[in-house]
Structure 1
Amino acid sequence: MRRTPLGRSSTAVTRLSLGAAALGNLFTPVSDEDAAAAVEAAWACGVRSFDTAPHYGLGLSERRLGAALRGRPRHEYTVATKVGRLLEPVAGPAGDDLANGFAVPATHRRVWDFSADGVRRSLEASLERLGLDRVDIVHLHDPDEHFAEAIERAYPELERLRAEGVVGAIGVGMNQAAMLTRFVRESDIDAVLLAGRYTLLDQGAAAELLPEAAARGVSVIVGGVFNSGLLADPRPGATFDYAAAAPELVERALAMQAVCERHGVPLRAAAVRFALAPAAVAGALIGARSAEEVTDAARLLDLPVPEQLWHDLRAEGLLTDHLEEPCG
């Protein structure tokens, strides 16, 4: 699978990365066997980029990903993790972590920390869980309410870690485009991980973030290309950004699906290819909890998507006409 360097770094990602949030029991449990099989399937499909975080299952995602990659040639794959939340043990049983989205015992609590010491402590713990001595990409994770500390304290520490060779590339991962644009303008990051803001249903990143990233040589990794479900299976009751989708969004997604069906293309394939189109985009991050889901995601990259499909979406008012033309 094609690889693209992130920014000016020597770290490259494959066109498709496996997002390992589901391997941390996102919403529902995943067995150790299914988690390992998902990573195995990704590897078999040519995926060599993997994304995790301490937040995902209170470290479970990192432990499972590290175990699944153990024994594979280290130079062949890249691992991204994140800093900004420290995991602190809690005394005694405390129920589950479903309030934070993960079906795991609440053995730890998350503590926001974008200090230099917090970055070091977080990364050291991640390396232990992953069983690695370095991480290829480290993202500042969801610094929405912590911009000043993240850019003034956490980011310089990541620069020091990059100079030490512990970190290959520096990024920021968020569900919004506006603050990512500030990081692109005000720091020397290599990449941004943008979740859900450049999709068939939400092109919020097109106005500033994507052109700014392209102009400054910062790579974009797009996540949430299905907007948490609506673009994968449009129907009443489907989710958009992890909440029930509004009726007008469901109607729009169903209209897009109808156009895609006329061309014999799954809506999922159009969603992935659309997100990959801008010049600044280095790859897409797809979450999966089984080997079947991984194989399906990889297959979408190879399906032919006729140019007429994009013209028809625009003709029916389902896409704006100023966006970059996706490749067939």
Structure 2
Amino acid sequence: MKPAATREVGRTGVEVTQLGFGGGALKPPRSEYREEDGVAALDAAWAGGVRYYDTAPFYGRGISEQRLGRYLGGRCSGGQGDEPFVLSTKVGRLIRPARSVQRPSARIAMGDRATWEVHYDYSRDGVLRSLEDSIQRLGVSAVDLVLVHDLDTVHLAPQARMEAHTDDLLRSGWAALQDLKAQGVIRGVGFGINEIGLVSHWLDRFDPDVFLVAGPYTLMEQGGLAELDRCAERGVGVVIGQPFASGILATGPAAGATYYYREAGEQERERARRLQEVCASFDVPLPAAALQFPLGHPAVAAVIPGVKNADEAQSCLDAFSREVPTQLWTALRDEGLLAPDAPTPA
């Protein structure tokens, strides 16, 4: 596959490169992080033709947006040209200076030693303020796609809390986003989700243009297939986040391999081992199959792995460009490693 080839996101008219850049890595993790590594990753991705970038206020409490904005601003000034790119960010969380916070877990020390808190708000005022703040951090006049972020019981337990925020979105937040789309400030709206069932949940209650699906549809498991089929039927676009399932599909079943931000269990390592074994029989690296598989689905416009440095970015570009024979997908299906009706790349 060609990283720079483009696909339309649903019916939005927004064309994204098939390989995008997940901005979640452009932030200080628990371990030491060097900003120059992030810039090098962006350089490698740009040189490889990547022109779709996703970020969110929650990624580093605004740091990801700031770093991405500085980089893209430099690319479009100083004699470096003015190539088009596509930006998506998210709403639902406000990042603001902490005053008196009862829950210490809501606070974070930033690089400038200022302390900030995260406040959930899916109302009209909340989503408009969130987007305004994002546009300022990114240094742009508008973004292309806006996603309602993490409106689920993982982040907003118990169920009653999630429903209260959903009511805010229903009463005013969603209409505000639709107004912005009608004005041409944004070009598409949707949801960023991490759980099976949420795509259908939101399709039944709203009219989204796009979903960013991080988790329920990867080479490791295809539990979200029926929901992606619904998206295809409705003309709703899908972007796949976490195509490596947070690690194991990039590293294989090595010691310390991670599966959705925890150490992979024995069954998960065994499944990854079997996937890797079948891929190797066709001389295909596991990461190549992992990156390319989701794009076999007609609803999927792009995959957006998160990369921390130039080596990881180049590895993704190489894996995405690797030729994968159609016989590999047949073999994986015959081994029971793919859902029988999961569409695969031609």
Question: TM-score over 0.5 for the alignment?
Answer: yes
Give the Cα separation in 1 of the matches to 2:171 and 2:197: 18
Cα separation, partners in 2 of 1:160 and 1:248, compared to 1, 3 Å: same
Counterpart residue number, 1:37: 40
State the Cα distance separating 1:106 from its structure 2 match: 6.9
Are the aligned partners of 2:7 and 2:18 in contact in 1 as well (CA < 8 Å)?
yes
Counterpart of 1:195 (choices 190, 214, 228) is 214
Aligned to 2:234: 216
Q: How far does residue 120 in structure 1 lie from its aligned partner after superposition?
A: 0.8
What's the % identity of the aligned pairs?
Answer: 41
* 1:317 positional shift: 2.1
Q: How does 1:8-27 map to 2 (within 5 A)?
A: 8-27=11-30
Normalised TM-score (structure 2):
0.87
Q: Which amino acid aligns with 2:319?
A: L
Q: Deviations over 1:92-151 (max 9, x none)?
A: 9x9x98998x99967211111001000111111111111111111111001112333334
Q: Which residue of 1 aligns with 2:125?
A: 117
Partners of 1:322 and 1:39 lie apart in 2 by 36
In the other structure, the counterpart of 1:296 is 315
1:271 to 268, 271, 290: 290
Summarize deviations over 1:237-270 as a string: whole Å, max 9, x none. Answer: 3111111211111111111111111111110111
1:137 to 130, 140, 145: 145
Mean alpha-carbon deviation: is it higher for 245-254 or for 143-152?
A: 143-152
2:244 and 2:287 in contact (8 A); partners too: yes
Q: CA shift at 1:220, angstroms?
A: 0.5
Aligned partner of residue 156 in structure 1, secondary structure: helix
**Residues 5 and 325 (structure 1 numbering): CA distance in 2 closer, same or farther, change over 3 Å?**
closer
The structure carrying a bigger strand percent of its residues is 1
Cα distance change on mapping 1:7 and 1:257 into 2, 3 Å: same
CA distance in 2, matches of 1:104, 1:47: 31
Report SS of the residue matched to 1:24. Answer: coil
Choose 253-262 or 150-159, whichever is displaced more: 150-159
Task: Render the CA deviation track for 1:31-78: whole Å, top value 9, x for unaligned.
Answer: 222222211211111100101111000111000000000143466001
Q: CA deviation at 1:27?
A: 3.7
Name 1:60's counterpart in structure 2.
63
Structure 1 residue identity aligned to 2:91: V
Would you say the 8 A contact 2:107–2:116 is kept in 1?
Answer: no
The residue type equivalent to 1:80 in the other structure is: S
Unpaired runs of 5+ residues, structure 2, are 77-81, 153-161
- Separation (CA, whole Å) in 2 of partners of 1:62 and 1:148: 28
Contact 2:295–2:344 (CA<8 Å) still a contact in 1?
no
Q: CA RMSD in A?
A: 2.4
Q: Distance in 1 between the 2:119 and 2:106 partners?
A: 17
TM-score by length of 1: 0.92
Match of 1:47 in 2: 50
Which sections of structure 1, spanning at least 5 residues, go unmatched?
Answer: none
Aligned positions of 1:1-328 closer than 5 A: 1-73=4-76, 76-91=84-99, 107-144=115-152, 145=162, 146-207=165-226, 209-233=227-251, 234-327=253-346
User: Secondary structure of 1:282's partner?
Assistant: strand
- Conserved 8 A contact 1:184-1:216: no
